[in-house]
Amino acid sequence: MGNFTDLEKTREYFKNDRFATDNGMQIDEVCEEYVVCSLVLGDGHKNANGGIMGGVIFTLADFAFAVLANSIHLPTVAQQVSINFLGAPKGEKLFAKSTCRKSGKNSTVIIVDVTDDTGRDVAQFVGTGFKLGI
């Protein structure tokens, strides 16, 4: 796979992504076609209404985007992103699966689908990554 040859090397590189990792996000799967990241939900992820904070969902999706984008080309930074929240999580764990829609000379478009452990669709994130150093 691109810049990271295995799961452990990928985890080692992204351990410095402190906001994501300090908040419990982890990399579960890495291959050429996709990346899966996850998060076990806890009280620290809740908003004032008792639901999961939108920023938590966004950060998990952004993390999965970053892992795949930088696997394709290192370094890649986010140029433009959007997220559609589809439904509140009902389970105890979130999953973010990123897939590459297009990898061009200077940019990469990645789709991230966020679900919970009940199979519920939670969000869809679309990100364009700008490849630095090209």
Q: How far apart are CA 59 and CA 14, in angstroms?
A: 14
pLDDT tens sequence across 89-115? 999 999 999 999 999 999 999 999 999
Share of the chain above pLDDT 90, in %: 93
Q: What is the largest CA-CA distance in the chain?
A: 45
Q: Token digits for 114? A: 């966020």
pLDDT at 118 over 80: yes
**pLDDT score of 44 more than 70:** yes
The residues spanned by each domain of the chain are 7-131
What's the pLDDT score for residue 4?
A: 83
pLDDT at 1 over 80: no
* CATH 3.40.630.10 given to domain 7-131: no
Please report how the helices 54-72 and 7-14 are oriented relative to each other, as an axis angle in degrees rounded to 10.
Answer: 120
5 pLDDT more than 60? yes
Report pLDDT for 98. 98
pLDDT (mean) for 37-50: 97
- pLDDT computed for residue 51 by the predictor: 96
